[in-house]
Structure 1
Amino acid sequence: MITRKELITINEYPGRNITEVLGYVKGSTVQTKNVGKDILAGLKSLIGGEIQSYTEMMNDARKIATERLLREADEMGADAVVGFRLQTSAVMGGAAEIIAYGTAVKLD
């Protein structure tokens, strides 16, 4: 399986040659917090500061999306993923989609 060190944001792999581009890979998830935490987050927004429950939710979502991307790349036989990116979008109140994407490649 591809490891984190083989997941890079630049479009080439330093010290190695890309021998084959396998294609686009992605992983995504939609995450939400429960109603009780949404109410507490709403109250926190009135006084300011970090809303830790949402920070945790987004960290979990990034991890899940990245793991799904890596699984897809692994299934393609990739040695690495280059051009790795994360994107977030609001789906509904209190819910966000995270998509991780990049290009699966074979290295020499």
Structure 2
Amino acid sequence: MSDRLLLTTSSHLEGYRVTEHLDIVSAECVFGMNVFKDMFAGLRDFFGGRNKSSQDALRDARIACLDELRREAETLGANAVIAVDLDYSEISGGGKSMLFLVATGTAVKVARA
């Protein structure tokens, strides 16, 4: 097993067995979408096509939130998180837009099967 804590959306890890369930862990991340990204996203929506700045923001949010989830699990002594779920939301109002992401899962200890 690598030194990096393993994450999976599955309830198990192939080739490993869960030796201990520790606790539910979660990470919450909120990112502001600047006004230029919002403006260009609106133009892209109008004309069609992919919006690279929005895709980049989503990817960055996912990476940051999963890193935070790993840190939370490591504080419990886990070496894996199973049943990871990602929930995205947008919060907007007052001319501002925020991307909200929550990652949850079960922190566990695993060993090679």
Normalising by the smaller structure, the TM-score range is: 0.7 to 0.9
> Which residue number corresponds to residue 3 of structure 1?
4
> Which residue number corresponds to residue 79 of structure 1?
79
- Structure 2 unmatched ranges of 5 or more: none
Contact 2:8 2:82 survives alignment (8 Å): yes
> Which residue number corresponds to residue 19 of structure 2?
19
Count of residue correspondences:
107
Q: Which amino acid aligns with 1:76?
A: L
Note closer, same or farther for the CA distance 1:15–1:40 as it changes in structure 2 (3 Å cut).
Answer: closer
- Structure 1 unmatched ranges of 5 or more: none
Q: CA deviation at 1:72?
A: 0.3
> Which residue number corresponds to residue 100 of structure 1?
103
Q: Which amino acid aligns with 1:103?
A: T
Q: Percent identity?
A: 36
The answer to which structure has the higher strand fraction is 2
The answer to which structure has the higher helix fraction is 1
RMSD: 1.8
> Which residue number corresponds to residue 57 of structure 2?
57
Q: CA deviation at 1:56?
A: 0.6
Q: 34-43 or 72-81: which moved more? A: 34-43
